[in-house]
Amino acid sequence: MASHRKPRTRIPTSSSTGRRTAYGFTTAALASVTLLSQTANAAPSDPKPGTTQSIEAVKEKVDTLYHQAETATQHYNAAKEHSEEQRTKVSRLLDDVAENTEKLNESRRTLGTYAAAQYRNGGMTSSAASLLFSNDPQDLFDQSHLMSRMAGSQKKAVDDFQTQAAKAAEERREASRSLASLTETQKELKTKKKSVQDKLSQARQLLANLTAKEKARLAAIEKKKDEEARRKAAELAEKQRKAAAEQKQQEQKQGQQSSAASGSGSSSGSGSGSGSSTSTNSTKAAKAIDFAESQLGKPYVWGATGPNSYDCSGLTQAAWKAAGVSLPRTTWDQVKAGTRVSTSDLKPGDLVFFFDDISHVGLYIGDGMMIHAPKPGDVVKKAPITEMPIYGSVRPA
C-alpha cells in the first residue's frame, strides 16, 4: 500500500494583545533578560534618566511590553496547537488517500479481469448454437449458470469502482484544502512568533539603556511593590482562614441538627460519598502542587511546555497532567476547564487567572500564594496572587 503513496515533504513546525499595566520585573530581569529572539529592533524613544518619574515610566513601559509579549505568546500557543491538529489531520487524510487508492486499483484490476473474459467470449453464439457444438450439454448448463452469476459480479465491480473513485477524489480534494489551511496557519504562527520576539527585544533594549543607579532604583521600586503584594496576600489568606472556619462550624451545626432529626445512621451515610469525592479532588490537587514545586527554579521560556522550561500555561497544564487531569494549552481555554470559584473560596490546586485579557495563570498553593512561570528572564517561583489584577479562578478537579 505504501508504494502507491508519494513521499511527503515534512512540514516544519513554526500565541491577544490588551493594554494594561503589567506586573513588575525582578532584579534578575534588570540585569539580564533571557530572550528567544533575534537582534532587537529599534526601541521606543527612551525617557531622560535622572528622575524618579522617568525611571517609573521606563518600568511601566517594560511591564507593558512583557504583558503584550505574554498575550502574544498565548496567541502563538493557540496557533501552534491548531497547526499541530491540522498537521495530524493532513497526515491522516493522506493515509486515507493512499489506502483508497489501493482499493481503487483493486477495483480496476477486477474490472480488467472481467473485460478480458468478455473479450474472449465475445464471439460466442446463442445458447442453442453452443449446445450444438458442446460435447456435454451439462457443461453448457454449468457455463451458462456461471456467466449469469458473473454478470452480477461485474455489476458490483463497476459499482465498487465508481464508489472508490468518487471517495478517493473527495479525499484528495479535502487533503488539498487542509494542506492550504495548514500553510496559512504556519504563516500565522511565524507572525505571532515575530510579535513576541519584537516585544521582548524592545523590553531588553529599554533595560540595556539604564545606568547602574537607575537599575538600583527600579529594583527598589520592585521590592516595595512585592512587599505590598505579600501584605495583601497575607490579608487575603487570613480572610480565607476565617471564612473556612466559619463554614466548618456551620457544617458541623447543620450535621448535628440533621443527626437529631433523622438519626446518625442516615446522616453518616449521606456524608460518606461527599467526603470521598472531596478527598479524591484534594489528592489530585496535591499531586499538581508537588509537580509544580519540583519545577521551581526552571526558566520561563515563551511557548515552552517542559520539561526543562515553561511558560505560564505550559506549567499549569503540565502540573495537572501529573495529577491525571488533561488541561487545554492556552489560558483562554484553561479558564473554561473546570468549576469557577471566587477568590475568597480558593483552595490549593486552583488556577488563578490574571488581567482582563486572561493572559497569565498561576497554580494556587494556599495562604495567598501561587507557583507560576512569570516572564522571560525569570524562573518558575512562588509569588503572591495579589501582585497582578485577578481575572478569576477555576478548580480543574
**What long-range pairs does 146-150 form, CB within 8 A, spacing at least 24?**
147/121, 150/114, 150/117
3-state secondary structure the chain: CHHHCCCCCCCCCCCCCCCCCCCCCCHHHHHCCCCCCCCCCCCCCCCCCCCHHHHHHHHHHHHHHHHHHHHHHHHHHHHHHHHHHHHHHHHHHHHHHHHHHHHHHHHHHHHHHHHHHHHHCCCCCCHHHHHHHCCCHHHHHHHHHHHHHHHHHHHHHHHHHHHHHHHHHHHHHHHHHHHHHHHHHHHHHHHHHHHHHHHHHHHHHHHHCCCHHHHHHHHHHHHHHHHHHHHHHHHHHHHHHHHHHHHHHHHHHHHHHHHHHHCHHHHHHHHHHHHHHHHHHHHHHHHHHHHHHHCCCCEECCCCECCCCECHHHHHHHHHHHCCCCCCCCHHHHCCCCEEECHHHCCCCCEEEECCCCCEEEEEEECCEEEECCCCCCECEEEEHHHCCEEEEEECC
Cα-based torsion angle of the residue sequence 314, 320, 326, 330 in order, rounded to the nearest 10 degrees:
-30
From the candidates 4, 75, 145, 372, give the one annotated as an active-site residue: 372
Q: Is-catalytic flag, 372?
A: yes
Q: Is-catalytic flag, 82?
A: no
What residue has cell string 502507491?
A: 4
Q: Is-catalytic flag, 75?
A: no
Q: How far is Cα 5 from Cα 98, in angstroms, rounded to an integer?
A: 5
From the candidates 4, 67, 75, 312, give the one annotated as an active-site residue: 312
**Active site (catalytic) residues:** 312, 360, 372
